[in-house]
Amino acid sequence: MAYAPPQSAYIGRFAPSPSGPLHAGSLLAAMASFLDARANEGRWLLRIEDIDFARTVPGADRVIMQQLLTLGMQWDGEPTWQSRRLPHYQSAFDSLCARDLAYGCACTRQELPPDGPYPGTCRNGLPPGRQARSWRFRTPPGIEHFTDRRLGPQQQDAQAKTGDFIIRRADGYWAYQLAVVVDDGAQGITDIVRGADLLELTACQRMLARSLGHPCPRVMHVPLLCDEQGRKLSKQNHASALDLSHTVRTLNQAWCALGFETLNADDADGFWRAARIAWARRYPIG
Ligand code: GLU
């Protein structure tokens, strides 16, 4: 009988928004999710989150893929593009509406408090004479408990912090929150490893996942790189391009920003071999 090696149940993903090339900040999420998948003999999927058409830069997806390959991060299977999956978001949305778990909201940005949760203005029906602009998920009350593999036990009160959140935007686009949950569910993602700016959205995503009948993936949120003003390094604040001519140096910079010591390696392959061992030691699963 042929020997079939045990298959790891781990499925991870890197889900960049193609609003520009990878930069030092987004490389951290790519590296951490890649290493975690490889350290667990898992699959590492690439999902291009290009449904915010206003922010998507044509060709940035190809540039990101080329950068990943140059740095030695090969994904498994075919990449997916959210822009090709719109009917799936529609059917998830329909299913939520059919169960009264989503509702239309007429509020404009000017009518809402700048910070703080959605006050629930349209929760029990649109005010007379008003039309739905966006659609919101009926966030259930209660504290959401989960463990972040790097940051430890978390408690989030999504109703108090965010309130009912948007799943379909006033401009007609699907919101990130809906698309990410639908895709993580459809792709059987077991582990989310991403930047710490998304930690605060985790409770909302877990609640939405349960409403759609999906399991909640394990999560790990990794440090963000900030500029001198303490703002998250991003394409918007002109993070400089990655230096792909010195791959080991570029990889080591991201590695150190993740809190590890510089690795001695002659090439990217050597770097990844050593990094994978160190990662598995620091972040074992189970
Ligand atoms: N597309 C999101 C971003 O680039 C990441 C989504 C996620 O990892 O959940 O910020």
Q: Which residue in the list 163, 204, 235, 254 is annotated as catalytic?
A: 235
Question: Mean of the per-residue pLDDT values for the chain?
Answer: 94
Residue 143 lies in a domain: yes
Does 102 reside within a domain? yes
Report the C-alpha gap between 30 and 220 in whole angstroms: 13
Residue 139 lies inside a defined structural domain of this protein: yes
Domain assignment present for 3: no
- Domain containing residue 266: 11-282
Which CATH number goes with the domain that contains 38? 3.40.50.620
- Tokens 């629930």 appear where? 120
In 3D, which of 285, 75, 85 has the Cα closest to residue 185? Answer: 85
Whether 235 is catalytic is: yes
* 5 domain residue, yes or no: no
> How many domains, in total, are found in the chain?
1
Lowest mean pLDDT segment, chosen from 5-14, 50-59, 62-71, 246-255: 5-14
> Is residue 191 within 6 Å of ligand 1 at its C-beta?
no
Residue 63 lies in a domain: yes
45 Cβ inside 6 Å of ligand 1: no
Neighbours of 260 (CB within 10 A): 15
- Give per-residue pLDDT as tens, 37-84: 999 999 999 999 999 999 999 999 999 999 999 999 999 999 999 999
For residue 238 the two structure tokens come to: 């002109």
Q: Is residue 6 part of a domain?
A: no
CA 110 from chain centre, in angstroms, equals 28
Determine, yes or no, domain membership for 2.
no
Q: Judge contact between 271 and 251, C-beta under 8 A.
A: yes
Ligand 1 binding pocket includes 15 (Cβ within 6 Å): yes
Instruction: Choose among 99, 92, 26: nearest CA to 63.
Output: 26
